[in-house]
Amino acid sequence: MQASTRPSGGASICAKTTNWTPTRSPRSSTKRCASTAAEVPPSHGQWKSEAVDAQLSIADVDAASTRTAGAVRPVAVAAADESTFLALEFLQHTGTFKARGAWNFLRAHRDAGALPVEGVTIASGGNAGLACAWAAARHEVPATVFVPANAPRVKVDRLRGYGADVRAVGADYAEAVAACQDFAATSGALLSHAYDHPLIAAGAGTLMQEILGRLPDLDVVVVAVGGGGLFAGIATVAGHHGVTTIAVEPERCRALNAAIEAGRPVDVTIDSVAADSLGARRASMLALRAAQRDDVHSVTVPDADIVRARQDLWEERRIVVEHAAATALAGLRSPEVAHLVKGKTTCVILCGANTDPTDLVATRVVGTPV
């Protein structure tokens, strides 16, 4: 279907691309291709995630769309009722939207001659690590993924299944991050981030472009938020097309909601059933800037509602998703959101399905129709 040509609405979006320039490690043996400064993407090393002027542009997402075309699976959209639709992004490569950002990140660096033969490295035992390993394999470069020593065996096995060199370091994620950064500095590998990078967020934004291509009359999009990479991309495109964005977080895992309250990214306590995917302690500045728009609403939901929404998707529709994806549906059902979507065409993004479905099959409940 053709992309939406709807006029822009709401607050204006920055019309220029962010001034990004990559750096290559002196150990990197790749040759730089000829490109103009505007075409050169950023390395994580030069991206200042806390920059107060950090903002994603629609041009950034357009560029990502060109890079990801043919590499990612176009999103399927299913009707839940006459005005509510479900974006089935859990059908994406590696089981989540993360494949979009990972591909865009590596392809942009490769096109700029800044993807080293030493490959890419990331600290993530979850969806971002899987996506990074998948994208690296298809770019024929190695991926070195750092995880805490207590990372679940099933996730480690999946990472290795995508060809990643998995290194278990430390007792928690912070130690894995430190080891990953040290490895990047000494090996020449490109350092990636799970969500806090404009190329990652722009790649995620391509999902919203596809949704609008299928639902050109869309009024509202509902999306779960962790660190804010997906949200920043979605809100940037949605706002450009006059679509309202509802950002949903667990009550005990609310990095973006807290950042909006404080006016800056702040650390939050993480204790939620959805923490394995939405458990960022701090939202990105890109996400905060995207949230500071009149057409964005932030809501939080209790874990009980998330669990029920996930179970109902299984009981009513035989859809298996992780708790992060169910968070968006729980938000749609919340009293805070009811007046925002009444009489409007709404799309709920089901962002991932890397989950153990055993509890869904074992537990029979009377569900609430989606």
Residue 150 in contact with residue 171, Cβ under 8 Å? yes
Q: Does 58-97+197-362 match 99-191 in CATH topology?
A: yes
pLDDT at 67 over 70: yes
**DSSP per-residue string spanning 200-211:** HHHHHHHHHHHH
Which is higher by pLDDT, 179 or 356?
A: 179
What are the distances in angstroms from CA 290 to CA 53, 103, 248, 280?
A: 11, 22, 14, 17
**What pLDDT is stored for residue 42 in this prediction?**
46
Average pLDDT over residues 41-50: 48
Q: What are phi and psi of 35, to 5 degrees?
A: -160, 155
Q: Which CATH number fits the domain 58-97+197-362, given the four candidates 3.40.50.1100, 3.50.50.60, 1.20.58.2050, 3.40.50.720?
A: 3.40.50.1100
pLDDT digits (tens, 9 = 90+) for 118-167: 999 999 878 999 999 999 999 999 999 999 888 878 888 999 999 999 99
**Domains of the chain: which residue ranges?**
58-97+197-362, 99-191
| 3-state per-residue secondary structure call for 45-107 | CCCCCCCCCCCCCHHHHHHHHHHHCCCCCCCCEEECCCCEEEEEHHHCHHHECHHHHHHHHHH
**What pLDDT is stored for residue 48 in this prediction?**
52
pLDDT digits (tens, 9 = 90+) for 86-105: 999 999 999 999 999 999 99
pLDDT at 51 over 50: yes
pLDDT band at residue 1 under the 50/70/90 scheme: very low
Structural fold of domain 99-191: Rossmann fold (3.40.50)
pLDDT at 267 over 60: yes
pLDDT at 215 over 90: yes
Residue 267 in contact with residue 318, Cβ under 8 Å? no
pLDDT digits (tens, 9 = 90+) for 272-301: 999 888 988 999 999 999 999 999 999 999
